[in-house]
Amino acid sequence: MSTSDLSSLLLSPLRRNAYDDDEEDSDSSQDESQQMKGAVHSYLEESIRPYIDLIDTLRSVGIQKDVALPTIAVIGDQSSGKSSVLEALSGVALPRGSGIVTRCPLELRLKKVTGGVKWKAVLSYRKKRNESVDSSFVAGPIKPSKLANGKVAHSTNDVKKFEFGDPSLVEEHVTAAQNELAGSGVGICDELITLEVMSPDVCDLTVIDLPGIARVPVKGQPQDIGNQIKHLIMKFIKKQETINLVVVPCNTDIATTEALKMAQEVDPEGGRTVAILTKPDLIDRGTEKDILDIVHNKVIPLSKGYTMVKCRGQQQIDENIPLEEATQIERDFFQNHDHFRDLLNEDKATIKCLAVKLTQNLVDHIKTSLPQLNQQIKKMLLDVKIELKECEPGPPEDLKGAKQFLVETLKRFSDQIDSLSSGEQMSGENLFVQLRAEFKKWNDHLNSTKTTFSNSKELSQTNRGRELPGFSNYRLFESLLQKHVANLKKPAVELLNAIKDIIIAHLTDVVSQCFRNYSVLQKTAKDKINNIQLTQQEKMEQMISEQFEMENLVYTQDPKYFKVLSEITNEKFSEDQLPIFDKNCKYSKMMEAYYEIVVQRMADQLPMMILFFMLKQTAQLLSTDMLCLVDGANVSELLFEDSDVSRRRKELRERRDRLSAAQEALNTFFFY
Ligand code: GDP
Ligand code: MG
């Protein structure tokens, strides 16, 4: 018998005559014709399948993140045979043996896949908190090289995932994950390990294997290990959505089993408790009758009753007896057993029979949970919608809407930049107030450099050139003025730098304000600002240089100069009729007058140039550049958000989508 046969049993539990009876098939008996059974089977299959499918659909939309879905949890003492039962049910070889083997809850999600798909498994668990994100790719529980048919699939957020294609690797992977989560010793951990098995040969079933209840701590275990484990088990079995599979070995005192007590505690009615008696091959001779009393519900009555199974013993595992063969061995065991033989006919023995009961129980359980589940999802969907409304609106989810949103966002940015550059900015520290302060400093500096030139050594007679005393050299005065004016160049460049910093700070403020949640837009805009400012600054420096070169020309038509000239000579002058000077003392006054004009020229010219190139032009270039982003943009990339609000919104939207999908699945289910 292959695993495929096993699973077909799980999937089609209805070949069993137990259900023939349930279905009021009065004629059902051992001798029932195959034809008849087939008919009943397909009828039942039809009535059960949709429930399993529904839960499957709900699980596939990820709804278990929001609500608990019906599942099966396995509890029992250490080495009672929990993993063995799960293994036989699922056809998936799990870590098994003596001592504490299951040290973390293991969720086994079996998924039947069709269409020529091969066996595939994905093991996942949450990363330990202290682990860095980067190490997840290398420091997996199993080194990538060791994965014969598998590979490290990927690791998102805090979840580690391993995908592999070889069933024999399950044990290795689970053990490695446990070692990582619970340490390689004997400790336990309540982090859930999820093993998703996709195969054409399994049934759609989710079961959780839990650590066994330990009575006495072994070396290395804390004194309260028993309580720790019980606490962990309780977390799972108290959920109303969980069917508790209680595993009790026949060779122990069944009535005093801790697991049974715990199950009764959380489910006094026994409506979701299924008991399994294991190791019937290991019982003390003479206790058979007592055990039969238990199976017949005479000692501790359970509404769902007991099933006896015989799994592979340690020796059979060591001998590598395949699961299929074990199933046959199990059947033979019961058939040849003097006391337990009848259990076969009573549908109280074998893994197959257990599979049938479990599936039926699960479906019953689903049926009773559905109305509540439906209500729960409705309510959650309503809540999540309200919460989403309260969330700061983000970009629409559809591409067209998102593009429109991007256009509007960029337009708003462009408007803000415009009003900043034209001085209409209302909020924050006003740009122009700061600029004016800088320009005032510049003006003050210019004024402080004014001089009478009267003490200039160059003008004294001893410093004269070849001219006869009394004659003057215009070059001398010119170079004197040129030198004095050239001193202004350094402060002019400093002014430019100061202004540049102020403008960048203000532009960056607008960027942060307009693109608060959009880091990509922010970075793009900031890069653009820096680039534009850099080019503009180069232009400006060039222009300042040119300006100072021009100043070397020493030229003016300013009437103020001519006014001074007239005062000195007491004659009226125009540019066409210049006087002839012969007295040095007049020159310094003329130079003073000229420098005054230079100062005035500089006081206006530089701020104007800076305003134009560093602010006006920059703003224009930036606006246009940003608006151009819309053309051929990767909208979702540009609107990528990473703030807390957007993360929350994203979560809520995902949740809403999950819940909507679940509700739709439920509606469809109820409707048909
Ligand atoms: P767990 O700790 O409850 O998960 O128990 P395991 O499934 O790991 O089983 C403990 C040991 O009991 C293993 O060596 C199994 O091979 C063995 N075992 C389980 N079921 C049976 C059974 O029905 N008969 C025999 N002889 N051994 C069994
Ligand atoms: Mg186990």
104-117 pLDDT per residue, tens? 999 888 777 778 88
Judge whether residue 135 has pLDDT over 50: no
8 A C-beta contact, residue 300 and residue 273: no
**Nearest atom, ligand 1, residue 95 CA:** 8
Q: Is the pLDDT of residue 149 over 80?
A: no
Pocket test residue of 282, 311, 330, 351 for ligand 1, highest count of atoms within 8 A of CB: 311
pLDDT average, residue stretch 610-634: 93
- Of all atoms in ligand 1, which is nearest to the CA of residue 209? 4
CATH number at residue 412: 1.20.120.1240
Q: How many domains does the chain have?
A: 2
Name the domain boundary from 353, 383, 413: 383
| Parallel, antiparallel or unpaired: strands 159-164 and 120-126 | antiparallel
**88-102, 217-231, 484-498: range with lowest mean pLDDT:** 88-102
| 546 pLDDT higher than 80 | yes
Does residue 99 line the site of ligand 1, with CB under 6 A? no
Give the Å distance between the CA of 381 and the centre of ligand 2. Answer: 38
Q: Could you report the per-residue pLDDT of 36-94, keeping only the tens digit for each?
A: 333 333 444 566 778 877 887 888 788 888 888 888 899 999 889 998 888 888 777 77
The Å distance, Cα 304 to ligand 2 centre, comes to 23
Residue 369 sits in the same domain as residue 462: no
The alpha carbon of 187 and the centre of ligand 2 are apart by a number of angstroms equal to 14
Please give the residue range of the domain that contains residue 601: 399-640
pLDDT confidence tier of residue 296, bands split at 50, 70 and 90: very high
Ligand 1 atom 2: the closest Cα is on which residue?
79
Burial class (CB in 10 A: 0-12, 13-18, 19+), 188: buried
The partner residues of 28 in beta bridges, in order of sequence, read none
Of residues 461 and 198, the one with the higher pLDDT is 198
Token readout for 464 is 């004269």
Q: Is residue 651 part of a domain?
A: no
For residue 132, which phi and psi values (nearest 5 degrees)?
A: -75, 155
| Helix (H/G/I), strand (E/B), else coil: 247 | strand
Which residues make Cβ contacts (< 8 Å) with residue 285, sequence separation at least 6?
A: none
The reply to whether 445 and 309 lie within a common domain is no
Domain shared by 618 and 480, yes or no: yes
pLDDT for the residue 237: 94
* Overall residue count recorded for the chain in this entry: 672
The residue nearest atom 8 of ligand 1, judged by CA position, is 96
Q: Is the CB of 150 under 6 A from ligand 1?
A: no
Strand partners, 108: 195, 207
- Cα–ligand 1 centroid distance for 310 (angstroms): 9
| pTM, entire model | 0.58
Decide: 309 and 402 in contact? Cβ < 8 Å.
Answer: no
pLDDT-derived band at 14 (thresholds 50, 70, 90) equals: very low
Give a yes or no: residue 665 inside a domain.
no
Name the CA dihedral angle for 287, 293, 296, 301, rounded to a multiple of 10 degrees.
-120
Least confident range of 65-74, 212-221, 223-232, 233-242: 212-221
- pLDDT over threshold 70, residue 131: no
What separation in Å is there between the alpha carbon of 212 and the centre of ligand 2? 7
Interval 450-470 mean pLDDT:
63
Residues 413 and 503 in one domain: yes
Within-domain flag for 672: no
654 domain-assigned: no
CA distance 50 to 53: 5
Instruction: Please tell me whether residues 377 and 407 are part of one structural domain.
Output: no
Same structural domain, 238 and 196: yes
CA distances from 187 to 108, 180, 218, 225, 324 (A): 21, 11, 10, 8, 33
Q: Look at residues 348, 383, 418 and tell me which one is the last residue of a structural domain.
A: 383
Cα gap 536→489, rounded to integer Å:
18
What is the C-alpha separation between 614 and 185, in angstroms, rounded?
67
pLDDT computed for residue 454 by the predictor: 67
**Which atom of ligand 1 is closest in space to residue 77's alpha carbon?**
3
Reported as a single tens digit per residue, the pLDDT across 302-313 is 999 999 999 988
DSSP code of residue 92: -
Judge whether residue 282 has pLDDT over 60: yes
Mean pLDDT (whole number) for 422-444: 85
Q: Is the CB of 317 under 6 A from ligand 1?
A: yes
CA atoms within 13 A on the CB side of 280: 32
Question: Among 74, 79, 102, which is best to mutate for testing ligand 1, by the most ligand atoms less than 8 A from CB?
Answer: 79
Residue nearest to atom 28 of ligand 1 (CA): 313
Q: Is the CB of 211 under 6 A from ligand 1?
A: no
Q: For ligand 1, what atom is nearest to the CA of residue 247?
A: 3
pLDDT at 569: 73
Give the distance (Å) from ligand 2 centre to CA of residue 334.
24
* CB burial of residue 59 (10 Å; 0-12, 13-18, 19+): middle
Among the bound ligands, name the one nearest to the CA of residue 105: 2
Q: Is residue 578 located within the same domain as residue 444? A: yes
Which pLDDT score is estimated for 139?
Answer: 30
Give the closest ligand to the alpha carbon of residue 75: 1
Counting from 1 in the atom list of ligand 1, the atom nearest the Cα of 76 is 3
From CA 381, how far away is CA 367, in angstroms rounded? 21
Does residue 522 surpass a pLDDT of 70? yes
Nearest alpha carbon, ligand 1 atom 17: 313
Query: What percentage of residues in the chain have a pLDDT greater than 90?
Result: 42
Q: Are residues 250 and 366 in the same domain?
A: yes
101 lines ligand 1 (CB under 6 A): yes
Strands 242-249 and 273-278: parallel
* Residue identifier of the C-alpha nearest atom 22 of ligand 1: 279
Q: What is the pLDDT of residue 4?
A: 38
The mean predicted confidence, pLDDT, of the chain is 81
**116-120, 351-355, 398-402, 412-416 — most confident range:** 412-416
Q: DSSP state, 566?
A: H
> What distance in angstroms lies between residue 563's CA and the mean position of ligand 1's atoms?
116
State if residue 226 touches ligand 1 by the CB under 6 angstroms criterion.
no
DSSP element (H, E) containing 29: none
Instruction: Tell me, yes or no, whether 301 and 425 share the same domain.
Output: no
448/594 same-domain check: yes
Sheet holding 306-308, edge to edge: 155-156, 159-164, 120-126, 193-199, 106-112, 205-209, 71-76, 242-249, 273-278, 306-308
Q: Which of 120-124, 130-134, 198-202 has the highest mean pLDDT?
A: 120-124
Residue 652 lies in a domain: no
| Ligand 2 midpoint to CA 103 (Å) | 8
Paired with 246 in beta bridges are: 75, 275
The answer, yes or no, to whether residue 154 has pLDDT greater than 80, is no
pLDDT in the model for residue 156:
44
**Short-list 14, 5, 4, 90, CA closest to 46:** 14
| DSSP 8-state class, residue 428 | S
| Helix 489-514 / helix 584-610 crossing angle, nearest 10 deg | 20
How large is the average pLDDT for residues 214-233?
82
Tokens 């034209």 sit on residue: 422
Question: Does residue 308 sit in helix, strand or coil?
Answer: strand
Q: Name the pLDDT band for 204 (thresholds 50, 70, 90).
A: low
pLDDT tier, 219 (very low <50, low <70, confident <90, very high otherwise): confident
CA–CA gap between residue 533 and residue 535 (Å, rounded)? 5
pLDDT bin (cut points 50, 70, 90) of residue 672 is: confident
Relative to the CA of 315, which ligand 1 atom is closest?
Answer: 16
Segment 602-615 mean pLDDT: 94
Residue 649 resides in a domain = no
Let me know: does 413 contact 627? Beta carbons within 8 Å: no
CB 201 within 8 A of CB 119: yes
Cα 26 from chain centre: 57
Query: Average pLDDT in the 367-377 region?
Result: 91
Query: Would you say residue 666 lies in a domain?
Result: no
Confidence of residue 627 (pLDDT cuts 50, 70, 90): very high
Contact assessment for residue 250 and residue 277, using Cβ atoms and an 8 Å cutoff: yes
Q: Which of 121, 119, 106 is nearest to 162 (CA)?
A: 121
Residue 290: is its pLDDT beyond 50? yes
| 30 vs 438: CA distance, rounded Å | 103
- Evaluate whether residue 327 is within a structural domain: yes
Residues 283 and 170 in one domain: yes
Phi, psi of 126 (to 5 degrees): -75, 135
249 lines ligand 1 (CB under 6 A): no
470 and 596 in a single domain? The answer is yes
Tell how strand 193-199 and strand 155-156 pair up: unpaired
Measured from the CB, is residue 84 less than 6 Å from ligand 1?
yes
What pLDDT is recorded for position 144? 34
Which ligand number lies closest to the CA of residue 87? 1
What's the CATH number where 132 sits?
3.40.50.300
